[in-house]
Amino acid sequence: MRRAGSIIASALVALAAWQALILLTGVPRFILPGPALVAKTLWTSRALIAHHTVITAIEVLAGLALGATLGGVTAIALAASPLARQLVRPMLIFSQAVPVFALAPILTLWFGYGIGSKVVMTLLVIYFPVTSAFFDALMRTPQVWIDMARLMGASPARIMRHIRIPAALPGFASGLRLAAVYAPIGAIIGEWVGASKGLGYLMLLASGRAKTDLMFAALIVLAVFTVLLHAAVDRACRATLDKNS
């Protein structure tokens, strides 16, 4: 309850600072609209914003699910095979030197103007953090557990399944928490480069027509969505994966 109170208080301080800035500087509303105007637009354009939010949410959730799956499989394959580590890991790290955002136009070319290219963009943004967090955890299995399992006659595959993976799930969870924060960024970048739907598209459209209030309304919805997504992933991790530590 105290935490909720402090969140509300902090939001009120931010709103007051925002309003004060407008009153003090007298900026026109198409440069920086006040909180009241943004709230009003949020209400009057709710159907429009909701429509685009659903699109972005689908892209984010699909990208998150695919990226987590692909990242999880990659981490296990790398942890299981020294050969895979030698061949794939340098490539994986080098790929991080390429800004994922620079790939957005080519993804639009390959996967089209619709949801597909945004899902792939989201996947690419979260793939590395998920893989890397899970892989590190898989490589940190206490040696004493592995020794015990070997003495009990376990094969490397069963050690992976019954010891290393369960022991590394809290690490996977920290990757997923990061992914929940990064995933919306991927979808929005994808929408900026080429789309006819989604919150990123709506923001670009609104600012292009000097409808700054609508742009801010969409931005706030995006931020709230990201916070809720992170909270949901965090909760789900606590209830499941974290219990293994």
Partner 1 sequence: MNAPGILLKGSVAIDDEPLIPQIKLTAAAGQWTCLLGASGVGKSTILRLISGIADEATLTGTLTTSDGAPLAGRVALMAQSDLLLPWLTVAQNVMLGARLRGAVPDTRRAAELLDDVGLSAHADKRPATLSGGQRQRAALARTLMEDRPIVLLDEPFSALDARTRAQVQDLTAQLLRGKTVLMVTHDPAEAARLSDVILILGPDGLRARPAPPGAPPRAVDDAQTLSAQGALLAELRAGP
Q: Quick one: which of 9, 50, 54, 52 has its CA closest to 200?
A: 52
Cα atoms in the 13 Å half-sphere on the side-chain side of 233: 24
Q: Does 29 bind partner 1 (CB under 8 A)?
A: no
The yes or no reply on residue 245 touching partner 1 (CB under 8 A) is yes
Segment near partner 1 (CB under 8 A), from 58-66, 148-156, 210-218, 223-231?
Answer: 148-156
Q: How far is CA 149 from the centre of its chain?
A: 36
The reply on whether position 91 binds partner 1 by CB under 8 A is: no
Closest CA to 200 of 223, 222, 227: 222
Residue 194 per-residue DSSP state: S
Question: In whole angstroms, what is the distance from residue 9 CA to residue 53 CA?
Answer: 27
Q: Report DSSP state, residue 209.
A: T
Comparing CB distances to partner 1, the nearer of 159 and 217 is 159
Query: For residues 116 and 166, which CB has a smaller minimum distance to partner 1 in the complex?
Result: 166
- Interface residue with partner 1 among 35, 116, 166, 194 (CB under 8 A) is 166
Alpha carbon 184 to its chain's center: 5
In the shown chain, the binding pattern of residues 106 to 145 toward partner 1, with x for contact by CB under 8 A and - for none, equals --------------------------------------xx
148 near partner 1 (CB under 8 A): yes
Interface contacts to partner 1, rule CB under 8 A: 144-145, 147-154, 158-159, 162-163, 166-167, 169, 243-245
